[in-house]
Structure 1
């Protein structure tokens, strides 16, 4: 008796079909879909029908799906077989019938090379499927993750927003072995809407907030009540905007090189907001992630996604605030204690962006807004808290070097009576400097330009570029442009545009002029504060910050061995070793 194929992408499809209760399949003959068809024909869970004509098969699926009120799967081979699904899938599209067309194919790389029976299925008509996904041949952990996500998306789309047909293009490597007796378990993601049954929530709960729109009082209150009822902590950064009592900026603790995410991991992490630049806290993901967003899309930033709640955040938090029964918030207390332990031992930092943050973050004028350049500026300032009524932002959507200065200027136009601050590195500044000549620039802006003469991010001690030594400066870090830290270039440019200009190139120089930059009093002119730092000291400062926490010698050795294993084997190798060890 034959069992399941060894092809992982087919295994993922079968496992998720079974988990979703989708059992009816109409199969057309062929070789390219053999791995899928042979795998299910001996599985008593499935009811498989044969139809030689794919056009008839698609219409049969329409009739069966309409009669049963549940999804029906189609399976065809390569060449033009899938083209014949067109009329039936068009019928399914306009009637919102849940038909899942799985079109098997050879690998995508062969498309366009005159290989027999290969056609291009990367683009389909708009009205034959609600969603079309292209699966990979699974060769590593990244391929498997990609495959799991896309199959989950496809199956969930069959009934989403009224339902309709969905297309999966399934490549094969023509494996002829069908000896997998027990189908492996693959990750299942469920989408929850307000009318569905909500899963139970228990254990330690963290809410991770990515970049977030301005919080309304009702949204903040809903999250506060949720946290109080569910022993929850809110992990946020300077793009999150959350100012409630359960929030904590955890980057300084999570960013320690010796930090073990398992020590502080939540049982469930609730993921709200959009993209986050807080790479350090991203490492502290929970054992399971629930995504909450009105768009209902699968966003698996942590690769641990279990549920997607398609609803407003307030609806989600209100539901679990009513069902939660926590009487104390021990998890928040534990996280705060951990952070305080690290903060208490923060040493004196070299003159750098991080040192500037340590001296100024907590002293920004009340009710001001501060923007950050991506990567180094955002990272280093995330290690330090801002005053409660200071708002903050960063261009973490596209996450490019371009535009952070222009976005900052645009924001400053909203309220001419409010102070707006920007922290930006030299490459990003020069990239976008033309906006300073815009005639709408007001006197309410203050720019901190940290000029280290290159893209210092790319030569930081933990960055791959650091292994290149001086070679990294030539192209990777783009050193030597824009006057190589000229003391007059920016000064003359800013002053000629009507800016006030101050500068510093040491801690003593900074102390002599920085009060002007932080003054809460409105200025007659916009102000540019240029601080010249050394890239090597920038790297030293980051290394110092990330190595505040020291482990006992035995733990340090253990951690070092783990890190060495990761470096040598990679993530896939480590996971394989764990499986072999039964862990």
Structure 2
């Protein structure tokens, strides 16, 4: 009996079962213990392969692929700390709903807790963050292949959101020529190998129903909040709110076109808050709100009827409102809850929105970090997409820009970390093949510098704009002690990304103004499918200071 052959036959069932359950992208890191999975994947037709030497980046590459494609994506890693490096992507997927299938090769049980090399306790390593875990036994012919196929089907059939962790122990030898070992075991699955359906098909139960009192509520004064949604959902919510005549307060990830832009500014105005207090009901679609002022209003808890519609499980409401938590897709809920044409009741808000828009136009110069955020809509590629980093970048765009309705916007706003942003960008680009503008801070880019290697294979033009304000200037928005802010919070690195681009063979541009940046981007969009690193050096605290100034002014008007 050839153990290496049977390891591969066992792994082949796993990979084929994943393919039957919709996996098309497979991300593979180098490793020896994962050899059965890697070789089985390469022998399974219908997969697109992605590789990376850095497991942390690989996990976020998979996250970006899943985010933009809407399909489950598999990740194959070897044993030991390689497994731990996938953890941040598993956490993010759990919070934002992307389906990741993490296949972690493992040592067999007799090599655990005995001092064996590269052997750690892997079952349960991701804690409560995966949606499901499957700890497979050591490959053996005493377990029928139909059990293995149905075990995968069982977990994939009920996976709606988040990661599935499948731990796969393999004993040595891992290498060798294939022979007839386990062939009869494998062939017991018959024509399943040539088909497209899972061995066992799982049907989701339940469904949503119409709120019985919706007819009454839709005739009252309401407010709509739009959080993270798809582009199609954002357009529908915008039309729905407009028909109802309810004010729509939109997040940068909402794709609604932000009909009441600059909410992070005008929500600081007491007069605007008084108008909103007239609302009898708030309907929120999607979670992960960015605006600090919107989050403060949400946390105020004045509304006794707060409905939150989101397909993800969990409460998703940091304000802990009295109301209804409805787990459903936005489109399914809208289908059952049509809008009733009404005259808008909160027209008084328009004056506060206009004041904020005038302040943005007059006060923000055509330069710097705030100027970039304000100008972002005119810099977007036609039929393209936007990827926004975390920390200060996304807050400035949310407060100062008005993005087009339905224009795709991506980001990692679940845990809102700065790890893996370049890799996630690469995954989004590969999944969509659309020209992509990305805006990241310098520390975010540094944190994921290895993943610049993933941008060397871009299917469409990518412009990675690194806004270099020399450190984590998000802390300038917080009451951090001024005397230690630079050393212990912002941590300026005084780096030049020219060298990082050269290290990975990527084109590099350093525009000296926003107008020059606009010209550079036009060249990117009309040029070949390459990724360009564009470093925009800006005054260190200017962006944060400008946002603070505009919020303070709005609060006094």
TM-score normalised by length of structure 1: 0.53
Aligned with residue 427 of structure 1, among 443, 460, 464: 443
Matches of 1:264 and 1:341 in 2, distance apart? 17
SS at match of 1:390: coil
Q: CA deviation at 1:402?
A: 0.6
Q: Which residue of the partner structure matches residue 527 of structure 2? A: 522
**8 A contact 1:250–1:281 mirrored in 2:** no
SS at match of 1:446: strand
**8 A contact 2:376–2:401 mirrored in 1:** no
Aligned with residue 236 of structure 1, among 242, 246, 250: 250
Q: Which residue of the partner structure matches residue 148 of structure 1? A: none
Q: CA deviation at 1:496?
A: 4.0
Q: CA deviation at 1:249?
A: 3.2
CA-based RMSD: 3.0
Q: CA deviation at 1:413?
A: 0.8
Q: Which residue of the partner structure matches residue 209 of structure 2? A: 194
Q: CA deviation at 1:250?
A: 4.3
Q: Which residue of the partner structure matches residue 352 of structure 1? A: 368
Aligned with residue 366 of structure 1, among 375, 382, 387: 382
Q: Which residue of the partner structure matches residue 457 of structure 1? A: 474
Matches of 1:329 and 1:510 in 2, distance apart? 38
**8 A contact 1:209–1:271 mirrored in 2:** yes
SS at match of 1:283: helix
Matches of 1:510 and 1:267 in 2, distance apart? 44
- Within-5 A mapping of 1:211-230: 211-215=228-232, 220-221=235-236, 223=237, 226-228=240-242, 230=244
Q: Which residue of the partner structure matches residue 536 of structure 1? A: 541
- Pick closer, same or farther for the CA change 1:337–1:428 going to 2, 3 Å: same
Aligned with residue 282 of structure 1, among 277, 280, 295: 295
Aligned with residue 304 of structure 1, among 307, 321, 324: 321
Q: CA deviation at 1:445?
A: 0.6
Q: CA deviation at 1:513?
A: 4.5
| Number of matched pairs | 339
Deviations 1:322-370 (A, max 9, x none): 6x4x531243x44444312221233333643111122333342222211
Aligned with residue 412 of structure 1, among 429, 435, 439: 429
TM-score normalised by length of structure 2: 0.55
Mapped pair 1:205 → 2:222: yes
Please list every run of 5 or more consecutive structure 2 residues that lacks an aligned counterpart in the other structure.
1-206
Deviations 1:193-219 (A, max 9, x none): 627633641432122122123425xx8
**8 A contact 2:396–2:543 mirrored in 1:** no
Q: Which residue of the partner structure matches residue 495 of structure 1? A: 502
- Pick closer, same or farther for the CA change 1:430–1:296 going to 2, 3 Å: closer
- Within-5 A mapping of 1:11-90: none
Q: Which residue of the partner structure matches residue 392 of structure 1? A: 409
Q: Which residue of the partner structure matches residue 355 of structure 2? A: 341
Aligned with residue 264 of structure 1, among 255, 267, 276: 276
- Pick closer, same or farther for the CA change 1:361–1:410 going to 2, 3 Å: same
Deviations 1:115-143 (A, max 9, x none): xxxxxxxxxxxxxxxxxxxxxxxxxxxxx
Matches of 1:405 and 1:442 in 2, distance apart? 15
Please list every run of 5 or more consecutive structure 1 residues that lacks an aligned counterpart in the other structure.
1-191, 553-583
Q: CA deviation at 1:376?
A: 0.8
- Within-5 A mapping of 1:94-113: none
